[in-house]
Amino acid sequence: MTSPENCIFCKIIANEIPSKKVFEDEALFAFHDISPVAPLHILIIPKKHITSLNELLHEDIDLMGQIVLRASLLAKEFGISDHGYRLVNNCGEFGGQTVHHIHFHLLGGRHLTWPPG
């Protein structure tokens, strides 16, 4: 699997690959998706390289809580909280995960269909 050395999201965190950053603190990084599927499409990632939900450890509980809270705060900041939005994690091949550094898609600004394709 992907290691931090060849991980594109680790490179984005390190500013080795440019991104449109919307938030950063000691634990998290958030930026606009390069191929948005909704009017607002932000990716929220931990700075810690975790490959997917499958590799999550008990020690990552606080980190996951920070991500969910940050999604809520970014949704308010970007004006999508009143109409509603979706926070999505794709895990593994069948989940459609293409980047193997855990990330959460914050999607909003249009009516989202359910179930997803």
Cβ-count burial of 43 within 10 angstroms (0-12 exposed, 13-18 middle, 19+ buried)?
buried
Verify binding: residue 10, Zn ion, rule CB under 5 A: yes
CA distance 6 to 58: 25
For residue 17, give the amino acid letter: I
Residue 98 binding partner per list ligand 5GP, Zn ion, none, with a CB distance cut-off of 5 to 8 Å that depends on partner kind: ligand 5GP
Smaller CB separation from Zn ion, 10 or 22: 10
- Does residue 31 touch Zn ion according to CB under 5 A? no
- Binding residues for Zn ion (CB under 5 A): 7, 9-10, 49, 101
